[in-house]
Structure 1
Amino acid sequence: MRKILAAAACVGLAGLTACSVSAPAPEAASTMPAQSEPATAQPARPSGDADSGTAAPPSSAAGGARATGTREACQLFNKLVVDYGAVSPTDSNGYEDVYLKAQDATDAVSGDLRGLFSSLGLLALDRSSAAESGGKPAQESQDAVRDAVFANSGACTAAGVTLRL
């Protein structure tokens, strides 16, 4: 059953990865006045998710403190990467815990930052399945995390956080 769930997650992440890879294009067009309208719309979304435990940083983004929400999201991603790296290669439950944390974080952020946590969750789920069979996670899962990190590195660097792989 986990293999089916992992396959479904791979398909879902393929769509998210496509969105994450296209993230640099809007950043390149940040000099256009139309860019300020989506930036205003994005912080409004997470404030509706204020009931989740990690939604406090994005809800504070409504008043122009969007960089603070971005900074905290990037720091959380780095923490989850450390947690992922600390799991024993044969501990499928440990990888599932990282997956669950990544899913919670995905719900608490908006925009392209969602791709960071979705891709890490996919990798953790894929690694969980591989831990049970003694294999390795699919290269596509690893590539998705790498692509999401590159797509969001500009925003995180602007917020004062360097993303880690």
Structure 2
Amino acid sequence: MTRFLATAAVAALAGLTACSGSAPVQEDRVTAPVQPEPTAAQSAPSTGAGGGTARPPSSSASSGAKEACLLFNSLFAGYAAVPSGDAEGYEDIYRRAVGAKDTVSGDLRGLFASLSLLAIDHSAAAASGGEPQQESKDAVRDAVFANAGTCTAEGVILTL
């Protein structure tokens, strides 16, 4: 069981390393302001097929981002509420975070990947009464900072 948890923690950390670069965050921030401008420019011409196609993905992506941010806050609150020695409680948060990660794309995946890493790390430490590694805590903090702009733009403030 411990070997499985250690393997899962290492795999999650490797996934976070791949997802946590700052370049994609900047690309998302650049992409978001650019999309409304072409949509406004495309609304003026009578051929609105491109503009009509551009709007629905933006609104569905934004509602998906809002839902993901709210879900992260909910899962993190659940994580914080788990008693420190309850390994199964942390494993439940881990499973829910992994499931949530599979429903989002882009940098938002990092929120759930980092939370799953923290939860499984805390689960392994709970058996001995210890705390999760500082790297796991830092990964969640970094993911929250990386996604703060996206979530705040959707009216959701990420909380730790």
- Residue type at the aligned position of 1:24: V
How far 1:26 sits from its partner (Å)?
1.5
Structure 2 equivalent of residue 5 of structure 1: 5
- In structure 2, the partner of 1:104 is 99
Q: What secondary structure sits across from 1:160 in the alignment? A: coil
Residue 62 of structure 1: CA displacement?
5.9
> Is the contact between residue 92 and residue 132 of structure 1 (CA under 8 Å) also seen in structure 2?
yes
Match of 1:24 in 2: 25
Q: 1:31 & 1:132 partners in 2: Cα distance?
A: 44
Task: Tell me: CA distance 1:95–1:12, structure 2 relative to 1, closer, same or farther (3 Å).
Answer: closer
Conserved? CA contact 1:20–1:148, under 8 Å? yes
Shift of the 111–62 alpha-carbon distance from structure 1 to 2, 3 Å rule, reads: farther
Is residue 2:85 matched to residue 1:84? no
Aligned position for 1:124: 119
* 1:64 and 2:58 matched: yes
Q: How far 1:18 moved relative to its partner?
A: 4.5
Shift of 1:32: 8.8
Counterpart code for 1:64: S
> Distance between the aligned counterparts of 1:62 and 1:109, measured in 2?
17
Structure 1, unmatched stretches of 5+, are 37-60
Q: How many percent identity over aligned positions?
A: 55
Correspondence 1:140 to 2:135: yes
CA distance in 2, matches of 1:106, 1:113: 8
The change in CA–CA distance for 1:124 and 1:31 in structure 2 (over 3 A counts) is closer
CA-CA distance at 1:20 after TM superposition: 2.1
Is the 8 Å Cα contact of residues 6 and 122 (structure 1) preserved in structure 2? no
Aligned residues: 139
* Bigger CA radius of gyration: 2
Change in 2 beyond 3 A, CA 1:62/1:68: same
State the Cα deviation string for residues 56-91 of structure 1 (Å, max 9, x = none): xxxxx9633211110000000000011001100000
Q: In the alignment, is the contact (CA less than 8 A) between 2:111 and 2:143 conserved in 1?
A: yes
Question: Any stretches of 5+ residues in structure 2 without a counterpart?
Answer: 36-54
Cα shift readout 1:88-128 (whole Å, capped 9, x = no counterpart): 00000000000010011001111110110010011000000
Please give the alpha-carbon distance, in whole angstroms, between the structure 2 residues aligned to 1:31 and 1:123: 30
Q: Measure how far apart 1:21 and its partner are.
A: 3.5
Aligned residue type for 2:16: L
- TM-score, normalising length from structure 2? 0.77
For the pair 1:95 / 2:90, whether they are aligned, the reply is yes
8 Å contact from structure 1 (residues 74, 163) kept in 2? yes
